[in-house]
Every structure is written in structure tokens, then in C-alpha cells.
Structure 1
Amino acid sequence: MSVAKVRMTTASGLEAALTAFEDPAAKARDLLRLHRTWSHTREVPQGARGVVARSWLRQTPEGDKVSRPISDDALLGRRERSQLLGSVVPLLKERLLPLAHEAGNELVISDDEGYPLWMFGPSPVRRQSDGLGFVEGARWREGDVGTNALGTAMEERRPVQIFGPEHAREDQHAWVCTSAPILDRRARMPLGVVTLSGAFRTAHPHTLMLVTMAVREAVEKLAGEHDRDLRRVARASEPYAGAGRFVVVDRHGWVARAEGYGVGERVWVPSSLRAGSLWVPEIGQVRAEAISGGWVLHEDVALAAAVRVEVVRRPPAHVVVASGDTTVEVPLSERHAEIVALLAEHPAGLDTAALMSRLDGVGSPVTIRAEMSRLRKRLGGLIESRPYRLTAPATVRPDPT
């Protein structure tokens, strides 16, 4: 499939599938010619919108893919696991369901894996949707049913409108679908996707903005709830005030409070975090203790010597830090990996001049000090200065061939 023939330019803002002045029927005829070219040649033709071209390139136009719905029990289980998403369903219904009824569209709210969990709208459009297999519990990622707004919005991680023959499956060519992902600030992952879908003659560019604005309001609501949760976690840590250096985080590593540490708004914590000792990038060796809604990460210098560092110098450059039962991979730039490897080879340490003499392309001591400052922040507690040295035994993995 030729990438060179694809027009890949995209607008910086929202990109509706058609303008308010275009005739939907004429637009569908033009797009059908593009779709047939793609189907017959397996090459994306000139004229396909960038978002559609990228989607068509991610698949082959062979056959009509079908997604089978999961069981009712599995669907209920997914709803129970999607409590954050469920908390904004009333808001989304309030903002979008009146428009859906008026336009003859349905409102679909799917989870982070592309399973529609809630579907609302007029009975006629719901029956037509059922005929396509677009039902609660039937996953609609691109890999399941080809190009569609829900699946493509998940791939692109931005609002998408797919019109008529831009859909990969021919039985969807009479539809227009507008989707926007809900990006969860807590886990920094898509929480779900909101979709309005209906007959292509109901297509309007304003729908894209309306769905986007409703999703934006839902995200703001979730962010407000997260801020309140962080304040509750901070209050739960009050008994630890004055008990040395510590950082208080929620279950995703968002910082609610810090005493004695200069950290950003979030630090890395393992998803399977449990009480005990571990090494945390940007902080160093800590002892984790559970509190209501999160964790207190206490400084734990006594176990710092147990940390081992394994350096990988070729892309993807990273260091592996093993401490107790935890192993952490910390991505590094190639320059930073090179510096850590040098320090591992010189356990007594290197001063600024010695590092300059061993690193290519470093023009001044200021550059060395700036790089070391960034590196020390990245590898909290593992690098000392005057001279620069590692505080734990280190080995250098041979460069891959």
C-alpha cells in the first residue's frame, strides 16, 4: 500500500467531514468513488481526508468485519469497572440527548476498550443501529469493524467525524458518526468515547463541536472531582506532618502533598503498589504506607545501598533499577544513558572536567552541569556530586548488536 499517494495534511483544529453548504448526497457519491478505489487497489487515493487516509492505511479493505456482543454479565461487569465514566453519563445525556432526538441520532458512550456500555436515542435509529451490530457490548475498535468514528477517535485520541463512505464497511455508508474521546487526567489514558450517530443526511459540522464541548465539560467535571479527591488524600496524611521527608500521592501517583521533596504534580508509582520499600524515579528509595485514597512515600535511606542499576546505552536508552521486589525501567536520553554508563565504569566518581573529556560534543562546564542537574532530578538519590558518582553498585549491559 503506497503511503506516498496519501494526502496526510490535517487541520490544527477540529475537522468536520463536510461543510454546512455541501449536499450530503453529492458528498456521499464523491466519497464512494474514493472508497471503491481503495477497495480495488488497496491504495488510499488522493482526496481522502487525512484522518480517513490514516485509518484506511491501518487496515486492509477485505470483507465486512463483524463484532459479536459480549454476554450480559460481562457487560454489567464492564459498567461496574467504569464507575468514573458512569459518573458523567447523566451530564452527557443532559447535554447531547435532546440534540440526538431532534436530529434522529443516537447517543453512545463506550469504555476505554471500545465497548458501547450505554446507548440512548429514538427507537427507529436504535433499530437500524442494531441491524449493523452496533449494540451495547459489541466492541467497535478499528480492528473489529474497520474505520468508524468511535474506533478512529480512539486511535487518533481526538474528536473525529466519519461520513458515509469514509466508513470501511459498506453497510455503514448511509451513516454519519461523530465521536470524541474522554481523556482521563488521573491515568492519562482514554476513559471512553462519546458518539452521536445517525443517517448521513443528518450530518452537520456543528455536531463535531457540540460533542467536543460536551466531552470537555465532562473532563472538567472529572478533573474537579480529582482535585477534591487529592485534597481528601492530603487531609488523611495530616498525622505524618513533621515526620521527616515524604510525598503523599493518590493511587495513580498524583501528588497531594510533599514535605522535603521538590516534585512535580505526578510521580511514577507501580500499578501494583503495596506497602514496603521501593525505588521511585525523582524521589529515590522510599517506604510506602497506605492511607485512605492513596499512599505516603517516606524517605528510606537505610535501604539505598540495595539498589542495583543496569545501564542500556543504545535506543531505547534506559536504566533498570532493582530494589527489593520491584524493578523500574527509567527512560533516558542517549546522552544521559552515556553519562550513567561512564559513572558506572568509574565508581570513585568523575568531576566536571573528567566528564567533559570523555563525552563528545560537550563544549563547556555549564553544559555538563545542566545535564547533570536534569539527570539527578530524573534519578533521585542515585547520583551524588563533587565528584559526580553513583550511590549504588552498577553494571553496564553490553550494547546490542
Structure 2
Amino acid sequence: MPKQPMNVPQLVAADAARAARVLNEVRDARLAGQRTRVALRPVIEQSWERMLRGGVDPEHGFRAGPLSPDEVMRRREESPLREVLPVLREGLLSVADVAHHIMVVADEEGRVLWREGCGPVLRKADMLGFEPGADWGEAVVGTNGVGTPAVVRRPVQVFAAEHFVRSHAAWTCAGAPITDPRNGRLLGVVDVSGPLETMHPATLAWVDSVAKLAEARLRETHVSSLERLRAVAAPVLARLGGRAAAVDGDGWTAAVTGMPYAQRIALPKSPSAGIRWLPGLGLCSVEPLAGGWLLRSVDDGAESPQRAGARIVLDLTRPRRWSVTVSGGVGSWSQELSPRHAELLYLLAVHRGGRSAAGLAEDMFGDPGRTVTVRAEMSRVRRYLGAFLEHRPYRFCEDAEIEALLPADREDLLPYSTAPAVVRARTPETVP
């Protein structure tokens, strides 16, 4: 049988010098619109398409001005990643220095906050502008091991000329995102970079495993903070009648009384003391506690808010920062959306008359039989949208005004979604 052509990681593992030559040929052919002898990996192909649409110059790129040292210091002090630096250093630096690599930690915007490792490689990085305060977001410097993992929200290794900008082709980078376990928000990216000949395809798994250790440390820190809040809240809740809960600033529950335990309660985007309507609790008195908030139901006889005149805004304009905001006579609150929930609410905003579980399953998976998955996800959505959603069929309530904010370019609509209805909506001249 004829041998199957090797993919890029196999090429690098077998012969780094040959891999560099092949990747340079592939890059030149791809940018010239010609067929390539080795196919670009999908994650790289998709990144290059974003670069071409965004106007990044593949020959020269663009270097944004670095942050001032004072601003870098301020961001370091405020970044939750500061808490996990010991984990990252212990897991990566000892090997990185010996293997002629450097470790880079960037924030969610792609700004380099920390950079440590092999001295000669650090000096080469200086020449490239890969320094503290520099902007290595994908839209600024092209496909790379910092910016691209932040966009696709998964680990990515970029070999040599897979970098979109030619001046980066002497480097190979492996980066993994680090997310906040409390809310799923991207905190930043940890990256290991170095010359192609010092890199191995297994580097990516190594970096990803250390990133997951960092997330586990953040999770432990969060659990400890909830335990402290529980100790503060216990004597307060013991004196109260009715329904009440103590939650942290992100709505994670430390303790409850007079009501079933819910792991998390959706809070307004910027909580403040006063009377607020909260999903699952109705009208509540929101009072500050050390490390969180005390929520006391003041509307036990009414499970639903006043829906008339309510306005629901579904914001899909910012990749991975999708949200739904509800405003009306009982105040305003927002909820960040997971990719799956953003897809579901987009489909309901498009189909104001509603969709059955089978219809949503067809839209989401191309399989009307996957209703169990749809119902499970819609049950989770109802935890924060509550009475603003109806079912049989699933739909927004008729009393509310619905507005969907979509990207200016339809190709940027939920760009990583593979739901058939969303894919059709991204394609010109089609209607979802």
C-alpha cells in the first residue's frame, strides 16, 4: 500500500529542518492561491482566513506599541494569573530553560505580562518585540501561540511558517488558554516558545497539562473563599426566616436557608445593595456580606417578574463574550453565555414564533432526534432567564421586547459554531 503523507507534527518530529522548508513552501503557495503539497491544519487554515479578512500583512505584520512598565505592573497586580505563577514556573521553567525555550504568560487581551526562561532565546525574543507589555493578539501579529489559543479557546501549537507573519517563521510556539473556573472567562494564555529544532509535538500536551494544573489551583482558591464566606454567613442565615442565600460576587452559593440549594444564582452584572429581581428567587433584598452578598426573598408569593415592558438584548458582537441582558421595571441584569447557550438563544431570537425540541435539535446538530440534549440545555438556560422563556414550543415570552445584536460581518456570527442553522446564517445569501 502507498505510504500516507505525513502531517505537520509528524514532519517536525521526524526532521525539523525539512519541516521548516516544507512549511515555507506551503506558506508561499497558500498565500499565492496555489495548491500546497501538505495541507494546512484546520486550526491554522481558519486562523489564516481570519488574518486575510482582517488585513494583517503576512510579510511585515504590525507591531503595536508596548505598554508602559507602570501599566504592565498594574496589570500584573490585578491579574488572577499572578496567583498561579508558582504553578506555571514549577511546571514549565525548569524544562524550558534547559531545552532553550521561554515561558510567556499573557492576559486575555494578548498583552505579555511575564516572560522567563533561556537567556539567549529571551534576547532573540527582544529583537522580535516579544517582550513584556507587547500585544501578541492574533488580530495584531497574526497566527501565533499566544493570540490564536485566546481566539479558539483551546491549546494550539504553531510550527515555524505556520505563523502568518514571515518574521515569526523561525519560532515554534505552544500555547494553552487559562480560564476562570468561577465564570468560564478567559484569564490569559501560557505559552512556551523557542526555535523549531528544539520543539517537539508533545510540547503542546505538556503546556496544556500545566495550564490545567493552574486552573485546578484557581478552583481550590475559589472553594476556600466560599468556605470563608459560609463561615461568615452561617450565623446570619440562622437568624432569618423565609428564603435566603449567601453568594460570592459571581453568584456561587456558599449557604442557603428556606430554599433548595442551587450551585449558582445569576446576579446583576454589577451587583449593588437594594431590591433586585433575580432568576429563581424573584424580588430580593441584596445586602453586602464580607466576601459576597446576602440575598433575601421579599416576594415569596410571586415567582415571576413583571414581564410587561421588559427588554431582552442578546449581544453576539464580541467573540466569546456573548451575553444576554434583561432590563425593565425590576432593574437590569446580564448573564454571560456559553457557546451552546449563545447558539440556542440566537435561534430563538430568529424564530420568534418558537421552536420545538426536535426543531432545535435539527438546527443545532442536524439530527431532530437529539431532543434530550436540547431539553437539558434549555433547562439550564431557564435557570437564569426563568419566566422570560416559555416552552411547547421554546420561545421568548410575548410580553418582552427582543433585540439581537449581531456582528457587522455575518461571517463573524458565532464563528466557531458548527450548528447547521448557524453555519447557514454565516453563508451569504442564505436565511437561517
Q: Which among 269, 272, 296 is matched to residue 274 of structure 1?
A: 272
CA distance in 1, matches of 2:286, 2:35: 54
C-alpha change, 1:30 and 1:44, in structure 2 (3 Å) is closer
**Structure 1 position 309, deviation (Å):** 3.7
Q: Which residue of 1 aligns with 2:75?
A: 78
Partner of 1:28: 20
Q: Tell me which residue corresponds to 1:176.
A: 172
Q: CA deviation at 1:260?
A: 3.0
CA apart distance, 1:78: 0.7
Classify the secondary structure of the residue corresponding to 1:257.
strand
Displacement, 1:233?
Answer: 1.2
Distance 1:214 1:142, change over 3 A: same
Match of 1:271, SS?
Answer: coil
Q: Is 1:67–1:133's contact at 8 Å kept on the other side of the alignment?
A: no
Structure 2 distance, partners of 1:156, 1:247, is 36
Q: Secondary structure at the match of 1:25?
A: helix
Q: 2:123 aligns with which of 103, 127, 137?
A: 127
1:214 to 185, 192, 210: 210
Paired residue for 2:256?
Answer: 258
Contact 1:310-1:394 at 8 Å conserved across structures: no
**Partner of residue 62, structure 2:** 65
Pairwise CA distance, 1:181: 0.8
The letter for the 1-side match of 2:117 is G
Q: Is the 8 A contact 1:161 1:176 kept in 2?
A: yes
Q: Please tell me the residue identity of whatever aligns with 1:29.
A: R
> Conserved in 2, the CA contact under 8 Å of 1:279 and 1:321?
no
Partners in 2 of 1:293 and 1:206 — Cα distance?
41
Q: TM-score, normalised by structure 2?
A: 0.71
224 and 319 in structure 1: CA distance in 2 versus 1, 3 angstrom threshold:
closer
Q: Deviations over 1:144-191 (max 9, x none)?
A: 100001101101111111010000111111111111111111131111
> What's the RMSD between the two structures over aligned residues?
3.8
Q: Which amino acid aligns with 1:156?
A: V
Match of 1:56 in 2: 48
The aligned runs of 1:249-398 (5 Å cut-off) are 249-262=247-260, 264-301=262-299, 307-310=306-309, 320-327=326-333, 334=348, 379-380=385-386, 395-397=399-401
Per-residue Cα deviation, 1:82-101 (whole angstroms, up to 9, x for no partner) = 1x210111121111111111
Q: Matches of 1:110 and 1:263 in 2, distance apart? A: 37
Deviation, structure 1 residue 264: 3.6
* Bigger shift: residues 88-97 or 265-274: 265-274
Task: Select the structure of larger CA radius of gyration.
Answer: 1
Aligned length: 350
CA distance in 2, matches of 1:183, 1:29: 36
SS in structure 1 opposite 2:32?
helix
Cα distance, 1:216–1:74 mapped onto 2, change above 3 Å: same
Note closer, same or farther for the CA distance 1:167–1:215 as it changes in structure 2 (3 Å cut): same
Confirm or deny: 8 A CA contact 2:325 2:332 kept in the other structure. Answer: no
Structure 2 residue 169 is the aligned partner of structure 1 residue 165: no
CA–CA distance in structure 2, aligned partners of residues 287 and 267 of structure 1: 14
Contact 2:23 2:161 in 1 (8 A): yes
> Aligned partner of 2:242: which letter?
G
Larger mean CA deviation between 56-65 and 182-191 belongs to: 56-65
Judge which range, 26-35 or 305-314, deviates more. Answer: 305-314
Distance change (3 Å), C-alpha of 1:182 and 1:320: closer
Q: Deviation string for 1:283-303 (max 9, x for gaps)? A: 221111110111111102189
Answer yes or no: is the 8 Å Cα contact 1:313–1:337 preserved in 2.
no
Task: Report the 3-state secondary structure (helix = DSSP H, G, I; strand = E; otherwise coil) of the residue aligned with 1:237.
Answer: helix
* Structure 1 Cα separation of the partners of residues 184 and 377 of structure 2: 28
Residue identity opposite 2:256 in structure 1? A
Q: Which residue of 2 aligns with 1:362?
A: none
User: Which amino acid letter does the alignment assign opposite residue 174 of structure 1?
Assistant: A
What is the aligned partner in structure 2 of residue 111 from structure 1?
Answer: 107
Letter in 2 for 1:262: P
* Map of 1:148 onto structure 2: 144
TM-score, structure 1 as length reference: 0.76
Letter in 1 for 2:202: H
Which runs of 5 or more structure 2 residues have no equivalent in the other structure? 1-6, 317-323, 355-375, 391-396, 405-432
